Chains A and B, each alone.
Chain A
């Protein structure tokens, strides 16, 4: 029997040095056992590499930046839906999630499903609120504070010991060893991502990550822990290995169970030298290394789509330990006509 074909729109096609998760998500969807897919790429810029990966993406449309607001996005999605009859949309950027969450009901009325955290879940796990989040759900987190002005920097010495981490609202993090460095990073990161800036106590140790999927009822549908093996100067994992660490799996299940998380997520963790795990961040979407989950036997993108469509989805209970992902960059040769087409018409 032929598998049903689902039209899925995916964002995050920027497979660059700090990659969006879109291409990895699409690879998982293309390998889904329970359905076939037609993939519609949603891109913000004409040079997002995914636009030109025609073996992975059937058609791509420009969408407006999140700063343009939810209405502008909705208008564009209505246009795309009229042409492509979308079944599911998977947004993959932190900054665009809130507009998509706000549009969830209207999209559903059009027949387009998403599987996203609630607005409350999205907001309370935000790094600005991490200390309260840790307290509420009994999860160890490093001390952190949101600051809104460089005038607050001198006072940090009363609460933090150097080095400390200076983080952007959505992305970017730098380790500052001196007050001067805090000023520099404050200006650099706030210039790019706006305010506030989050100051977090630096913890020395090994970095671990876990990706997973919650069904919104407290059940963990998938969970894969990973240790970064190669980290770029932007702090991105360029290589990693699946591990079998009970404490991380337990933390992941606790996170999903206590927050009733709905959707994909990534937990960023650090283990200090007393072997204590701290939660550094909750990313409210699948990570760029999500294809490792597919490689070890948990196709999280496929399971997420099944949940979005309301299909019964059994939790994954096993995965292969000791599988590595090694990322690489690759030059595509693209005809300038294609670039012109997407730049001028907004679709290709």
Chain B
């Protein structure tokens, strides 16, 4: 699972999908996770980075991460290649 190559994100968290013309706004944590996925990091790597930085636990991270992935799927921002997290 990867972010589609043509999807652009600004520093302020504004995502633009050039295929559909749709745009979305996400919060700073979302931007971090979005960029981690874009860099090709695995679920485990992202989990470790988030738990180190934020005062949260594995279960909460897991739920929020999958909610976020659900949002990315719903708006067709993901590409399913060989690398499946």
Contacts and interface: CB of A to CB of B under 8 A. Distances in A.
Say if A and B assemble together.
yes
B65 interface: no
A244 B16 contact: no
Contacts of A132: none
A206 interface: yes
A326 interface: no
Contacts of B22: 227
A227 B18 contact: no
Interface in A135-190: none
Residue of B16, B18, B21 most packed against chain A (CB within 10 A) = B21
Interface residues of B, number: 9
A227 B20 contact: yes
B19 A245 contact: yes
Interface in A189-227: 206, 208, 226-227
B20 A206 contact: yes
Contacts of B16: 322
A286 interface: no
A269 interface: no
A227 to B, nearest CB: 3
A208 B6 CA distance: 19
B20 A321 contact: no
Nearest to A227: B21
Contacts of A275: 76
A229 interface: yes
Residue of A229, A240, A244, A275 most packed against chain B (CB within 10 A) = A244
A241 interface: yes
B18 to A, nearest CB: 4
Nearest to A229: B21
Interface string B1-38: 00000101000000010111110000000000000000
A98 to B, nearest CB: 34
A322 B18 contact: yes
Nearest to B22: A227
Given A275-B76, A322-B8, 5 more contacts: A227-B20, A227-B22, A229-B21, A243-B19, A322-B16
Interface of B: 6, 8, 16, 18-22, 76
